[in-house]
Amino acid sequence: LIRKYVSGQRNRLSDGEYDLDLTYVTPRVLAMSFPGVTFLQKMYRNDITTVSKYVKEKHGDHYWIYNLTGTEYDEDKCFEDRISTYQWEDLHSPTLELLFRACKSMFDFLCQDPKNVVIIHCNAGKGR
C-alpha cells in the first residue's frame, strides 16, 4: 500500500505475482526506482530481492542494470555484477560526455543479443 502511494500515478508492473514500480518503456528498455535494500526502504521501494527474482525469471542472463544515482548497493548479491553506474546529481543534467558514454554502453549491450534488455534507475524512477 505504501509503495503504491509513493509511486503515485506512474505506471507499475502488476501481473498478479509481482507489483513493482517498474515499467517497460519499450520491450527492451525498462525504468524503475532505486531498489530498497534496508528494511525501511523496502516498505516504500521495490524490494531488491523481488526485483532480482522478477528480472531473472523474465530475462534470464539477458539484462544489464544502469544505476544513475551515486548510491551503491551489493550488486553481486542480487544482480550478479550486472550493473554499470553513471552518476549525476538528482534533478540536474549530466555532462554530454557522461550521457554519451551511458547511451553508448546501453546501445552496445542491446546490440549484442536481441534478447538483451536494459534496466535504468535513478532514485524515484522519473527524475533522470
The residue whose grid cell reads 524503475 is: 32
Is 122 considered catalytic here?
yes
The residue whose grid cell reads 554519451 is: 100
Distance of alpha carbon 102 from alpha carbon 85, whole angstroms: 9
Q: Which residues are registered as beta bridge partners of 29?
A: 26, 118
Catalytic residue (one of 78, 103, 111, 122): 122
User: Which residues are identified as catalytic?
Assistant: 122
